[in-house]
């Protein structure tokens, strides 16, 4: 094709990488273009950053990349990873949430479904981790930079994958994986912040439960308004952060509820 003259073929440096998709490591059956052929004239005219390389890729990545306008190899690699992650989100979630030993107690159909998800999730994880290969283009050798592995820290314990960290944190701190994953995403992708947030929420719920129970029992016993008791206890505790609910109720009894000596004599 006439436009090929504007693109340099990306050739793997080592034979082990021949016929390999640069984006995900699967078998390459197609070629992707950076920038896309339909935007070739735009990049030539505007001189926008672009690599003008022809990249070996698999059919799936090639199809996903049809929606990308990116002109550089790195842009297109990031786009392909993002789309793969989105496409296989369900399988990735199963892979993160389940482990082989947890399948024993499941019935056959559910176990079969989860096993399929685990396998697909593991394959997708490997594709997402793939960083490409060293190559030559237009006679220039390029070394693909492998990022320093990301570690997930759980109060000093480090894990190379999110799945391992999630499994450990869930068991160590007795928090359901689904809950922990949601809080992880909502707390700067940080396990320590997520666990602290969960524990704080649990403590607040328990406190509210204790307040309702103890203030209700106090109000019933001494024939007081529940709202009045709540407000007084909250006021006492706001004045002294170390005061417990029981101590606040005792103070309330002494100051506002206990019959006076003169009243008892009458």
Average pLDDT over residues 47-55: 93
| Under 8 Å between Cβ of 95 and 115 | no
Mean pLDDT, residues 179-183: 94
pLDDT tens per residue across span 197-250: 999 999 999 999 999 999 999 999 999 999 999 999 999 999 998 999 999 999
Q: Which residue has the higher pLDDT, 148 or 2?
A: 2
Cα–Cα dist 217/67, whole Å: 64
| Local confidence band at 160 (pLDDT 50, 70, 90 cut-offs) | confident
- Flag whether pLDDT at 26 surpasses 50: yes
Mean residue pLDDT across the chain: 91
What is the pLDDT at residue 264? 43
Report the pLDDT value the prediction gives residue 266, as an integer from 0 to 100: 42
Cα-based distances in Å from 84 to 44, 65, 226: 29, 10, 56
Across 31-53, b (16+ Cβ under 10 Å) vs e yields: ebbbbbeebbeebeeeeeebbbb
């Amino acid at each position: 094709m006439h436009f090929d003259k504007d693109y340099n073929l990306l050739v793997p440096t080592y034979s082990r990488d021949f016929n390999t998709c640069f984006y995900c490591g699967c078998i390459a059956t197609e070629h992707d273009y950076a920038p896309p052929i339909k935007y070739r004239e735009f990049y030539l005219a505007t001189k926008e950053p672009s690599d003008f390389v022809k990249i070996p890729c698999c059919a799936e990545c090639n199809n996903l990349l049809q929606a990308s306008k990116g002109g550089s190899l790195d842009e297109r690699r990031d786009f392909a990873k993002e789309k793969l992650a989105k496409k296989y989100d369900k399988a990735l979630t199963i892979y993160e949430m389940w482990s082989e030993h947890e399948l024993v107690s499941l019935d056959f159909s559910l176990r079969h479904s989860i096993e399929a998800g685990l396998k697909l999730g593991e394959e997708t994880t490997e594709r997402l981790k793939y960083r490409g290969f060293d190559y030559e283009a237009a006679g220039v050798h390029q070394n693909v930079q492998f990022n320093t592995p990301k570690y997930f820290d759980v109060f000093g314990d480090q894990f190379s994958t999110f799945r391992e960290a999630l499994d450990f944190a869930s068991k160590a701190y007795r928090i359901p994986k689904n809950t922990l994953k949601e809080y992880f995403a909502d707390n700067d992708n940080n396990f320590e912040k997520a666990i602290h947030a969960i524990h704080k929420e649990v403590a607040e719920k328990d406190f509210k439960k204790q307040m309702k129970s103890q203030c209700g029992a106090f109000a019933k016993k001494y024939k007081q308004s529940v709202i009045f008791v709540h407000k007084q206890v909250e006021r006492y505790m706001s004045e002294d952060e170390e005061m417990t609910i029981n101590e606040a109720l005792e103070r309330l009894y002494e100051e506002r509820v206990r019959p006076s000596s003169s009243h008892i004599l009458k």
